[in-house]
Structure 1
Amino acid sequence: MNPSSLHERLEHGIAALGLALPAGAADRLLTYQALLQRWNGTYNLTAVRDPAEMVTRHLLDSLAILPYVQGESLADLGTGPGLPGIVLAIAAPGRHILLVDSNGKKVRFLREAIRTLGLEGVRAVQSRVEEVEGSFDCITARAFASLADMLGWGGHLLAPHGVWLAMKGKPADEELPGIPAGFELRARHALHVPGLEAERHLLVLGRA
């Protein structure tokens, strides 16, 4: 798929999501996608190889949670190659964002992406989630573990009035009894990602 077709696919998806992004954001998102594709050949950062699928499964999938992101600081736990953290940093700049992953190759890519895209206030750390310190208004986690494990490892990072956005494929009903004491499910949203037939759900959690 040529660059203009990718741009059209992305723009249509952004419109379908009802989002208004800053000027130039779509171009920067595609710069990120191209960088990911280039590094993927050597570092195997994602199983998604097709550029058009990357637009749908990575960019639009990440953008679908943008209306629920809040606060001045965000930690993206188990970010992998920056999903959704880097996408959110491009789409809604001005927030302090910490990208956390334990994989050194992925963190090297993240730092190159931050540098290439000139993302201010965004930094990447190679660490296990439970060893990270800080307090964040918003935490994102894209299906990297069960709710019990996510909150068990990273719950200490959530600010008192913060929101935890857990991105899931299935509704994750069977995980709800495992939510640790001190946390509660606030809301659940079925997400409709343009061009994606698979289920996507967002669970919004907070301190009880």
Structure 2
Amino acid sequence: MSSRHDLQTRLERGIAALGVSLPAGAVERLLDYRALLARWNATYNLTAIRDPGEMVSRHLIDSLAILPYVQGQTLADLGTGPGLPGIPLAIAAPERQVLLVDSNGKKVRFLREAIRSLKLENVRAVQSRVEEVEGQFDCVTARAFASLEDMLAWGGHLLTKDGIWLAMKGKHPDEELPGVPVGFEVRAIHTLAVPDVGGERHLVVLGRTAA
């Protein structure tokens, strides 16, 4: 078993490699979140990743890799599952209001327990299909959630006029780009270097086209 000290070392090394700065106490809260996820995962199977070190790399550090691209005061994380990337992003920026959206009841129960036990006052969770969520957000995130075409068709209404959509992908999504709906455009595609995570990682940044 990896000790908490080992996991903290791995997490801090990853944060340093990403070059992101986090508020005081964030590392402890991230580790508390991982521990809570592992505990619930034993019963509810919320994530296929069970190795503690892998959870740090593939969940926490992978989520924080997009932190430099997040903007605005409000964020919606669609298809968040057990809170990825939404909870790590919320811990990293407690002044930002974060809405976690998932249609799976047991995952939303976990999210509400994580919000309560980690005292994440800037976060709320809703069990809903993306199409039925109301409101608009400065930033929308989605990790391995759907094709660009589908995610914007279902959730495009959630983006403010000047907001940005951050779609986390594995390999470069060349074949998805022609499907971006009218009214939206790809602003940038960033290759992410995530410490201790093999395989390609890409971030597609989208926004509304100027009227």
TM superposition score normalised by structure 1: 0.99
Shift of 1:24: 1.0
Q: Does 1:175 align with 2:176?
A: yes
Shift of 1:4: 0.5
1:186 matched to which residue of 2? 187
Q: Which amino acid aligns with 2:168?
A: M
Unaligned runs of 5+ in 2: none
Alignment: residue pair count: 208
Shift of 1:121: 2.1
1:11 matched to which residue of 2? 12
User: d(CA) in 1 for partners of 2:174 and 2:194?
Assistant: 21
1:47 matched to which residue of 2? 48
Shift of 1:198: 1.2
Unaligned runs of 5+ in 1: none
Shift of 1:29: 0.1
* Percent of residue pairs bearing the same amino acid type: 75
TM alignment of 1:15-164, pairs within 5 A: 15-164=16-165
User: d(CA) in 2 for partners of 1:26 and 1:121?
Assistant: 17
SS, match of residue 109 in structure 1: helix
Shift of 1:173: 0.5
SS, match of residue 141 in structure 1: strand
Q: Which amino acid aligns with 1:10?
A: L
User: d(CA) in 2 for partners of 1:61 and 1:187?
Assistant: 19
User: d(CA) in 2 for partners of 1:169 and 1:24?
Assistant: 30
SS, match of residue 50 in structure 2: coil
In angstroms, what is the RMSD of aligned CA positions? 0.5
User: d(CA) in 2 for partners of 1:19 and 1:121?
Assistant: 20
User: d(CA) in 2 for partners of 1:112 and 1:50?
Assistant: 22
Q: Write out per-residue CA displacement over residues 174-194 of structure 1, whole angstroms, 9 at most, x where no aligned residue.
A: 000000000000001000001
Q: Which amino acid aligns with 1:158?
A: L
User: d(CA) in 1 for partners of 2:78 and 2:198?
Assistant: 25
Question: Which stretches of structure 1, 4 residues or longer, exceed 4 Å deviation after superposition?
Answer: none
